[in-house]
Amino acid sequence: MSNLSKIQLLDGETKIDNWDLYYIMPSGEKFLGTLMVTTKRIFFDAKSEGSVGGFLASTSPFAPNSLGVHEISKDRIKSVTAEKSLFSKKAVVTLDNGEIHKFDRGAMSADKVIDAINKK
């Protein structure tokens, strides 16, 4: 069972969608996991560190099923933009405090992620 399925939605909040992707924190750390977007918040359930070594360690039978869930309130989002190259399509979220959070779909389009984040 995913940690995201245990999240209690707020009054008037509905789930929009979820995607498996890489999350790049403001510090530059990169994690592989699941992004869930609702009408009021964004959640990221980190499954492994974003390197090949982190992925291999996560396949161990002794690995935790989650490294933790990160939550961002949509009220704090200042802008959402796209960053595109041949093998990297990102939704770039800038918060009201200047932090930049990136959600990388690899070669897959990030347009639906951007639309979901912008939807209230």
Count the alpha carbons within 13 Å of 104 in the hemisphere toward its beta carbon.
18
Please give the pLDDT value at position 17.
97
pLDDT at 56: 39
Helix segments in the chain, DSSP class H: 52-58, 111-118
Q: Do residues 45 and 36 lie in contact, with contact meaning Cβ atoms separated by under 8 Å?
A: yes
Please state the φ and ψ torsions of residue 57, each to the nearest 5 degrees: -65, -30
Fold of 14-118: PH-domain like (2.30.29)
Confidence (pLDDT) at 67: 67
pLDDT score of 49:
65
Global pTM? 0.84
Q: What is the pLDDT along the chain (120 residues), one digit of tens a residue?
A: 478 888 999 999 999 999 999 999 999 999 999 999 999 999 999 887 654 444 434 443 443 445 688 999 999 999 999 999 999 999 999 999 999 999 999 999 999 999 999 998
